[in-house]
Amino acid sequence: MSHRMSASYDRRVEGVRQRRASLASQYGGDTRSSVTDKKVEEEEEEEEKKKEIGDSQFLLLDRFLVGHKIGKGSFSTVYFGRDTKTNARIAIKTEAIVAKDPPQLQADVAVLRTIRDMNGGMMPTGFTRLLASGVDTVYNIRFAVVELLADSLEALVFRQPGCRLTVHTVLMLADQALSRLQVMHDAGFIHRDVKLANFVMGRGPFSPVLYLIDFGLTKTYLDSRGTHIAEYGPDGKPVRGILAGTLSYMSLRAHKVLQQSRRDDVESLAY
C-alpha cells in the first residue's frame, strides 16, 4: 500500500473510531455495541447518498434528478440519478444533439420499446426497463431513463485473478447471453456490437441476471415483407455492409465489411 493510500485509510479509520466513540457516549454504550455500528453504517450510507447527488445539476421532466457521471461511450454518456417520485436509483443515458451524427440513443430507445411491445408490454428478463425518454432543449440532449444496473462482464472479468472465470460461471453466463440474443433475434433485430462491456449484471434481487444493453448499432435483418435481407446480390457476390462493432469481438464477415446477420452476433459472443 502506498504512503498516500495508507494515510487516507488511516484518516478514514480514525474518523470511524471518533464517530463510534461519540455515538457510544450518546447512547450510553461502548464503542463495540450493535447500536453504535448500526448508526455508523447509517451515517456512512447517508454520506454515500450525498456524494451520489452532490454534483446534481438539473431535473429531467421535473422528476428525474441527474447526478454524477458513471460511464461514457462513443456516442453517449450515462449518469447516476434518482426518481424524485419514488426515490429509486436510476441511470440516465444522454446524447448530444448534433445534426451531422445519426441519433444512436433514439435507436436504443426504439429497440427497447419494440422488444417490450412484442412481450405484451412487459420487458423480458435481461432487458432494462425504459422509464422515460425525450429531448431536453435547454441542454440540447436526447435522454433515456432506465433502471440502474451493476457492473459489466468486462469489469467483473478484469477483477478476477488472472482475468479468468470458472468454467461453471462461463457456462451459466453463456446460457443467459444466448437467451438475450434469441429475444433480440425473435424481435427481428441483430445487435452488431456484442461484447463483454455490453453485458451487465442486475442489482439487488436481480443480481444473478445478465442484461444485454446498448442498441445504438442494432438494425433489423428483415425487410418490409418479413423476408431475411439479401446476403448475396444477383451476381452471386456477397452484399457489402458497413464496418459496425468492436474490432476485438467482430465476426469475420464484419471484418470484411459484409452484410451482417444473426450468426455474426453469435460468433461475436463466442469471442
Residues 220-271 have pLDDT tens digits of 999 888 889 888 888 888 899 888 999 999 999 999 999 999 999 999 999 9
Q: What is the pLDDT of residue 173?
A: 96
146-175: pLDDT as tens digits: 999 999 999 999 998 888 999 999 999 999
DSSP H or E run through 103: none
Model-level pTM greater than 0.95?
A: no
pLDDT digit string, tens, across residues 113-134: 999 999 999 999 999 999 999 9
Per-residue pLDDT for 3 more than 90? no
Assess whether pLDDT exceeds 90 at residue 80: yes
At residue 127's C-alpha, the angle toward residues 84 and 215, to 5°, is 100
Residue 51 in this model has a pLDDT that exceeds 60: no
What pLDDT score does 20 carry? 55
Cα–Cα distance between 80 and 8 in angstroms, integer? 26
Residue 149 near residue 211 (C-beta atoms within 8 A):
yes
| Cα-based angle 190, 193, 196 (whole degrees, multiple of 5) | 125
- Cell numbers placing 139: 441542454
Q: Quick one: cell of 248?
A: 476485438
Per-residue pLDDT at 97 exceeds 60: yes
Give the cell for residue 88: 429509486
Q: What percent of the chain has pLDDT over 90?
A: 58
Helices (H), the chain: 3-27, 34-54, 104-118, 153-158, 167-186, 252-255, 262-270
List active site positions: 193
E-strand stretches of 74-152: 77-83, 89-96, 130-136, 141-147
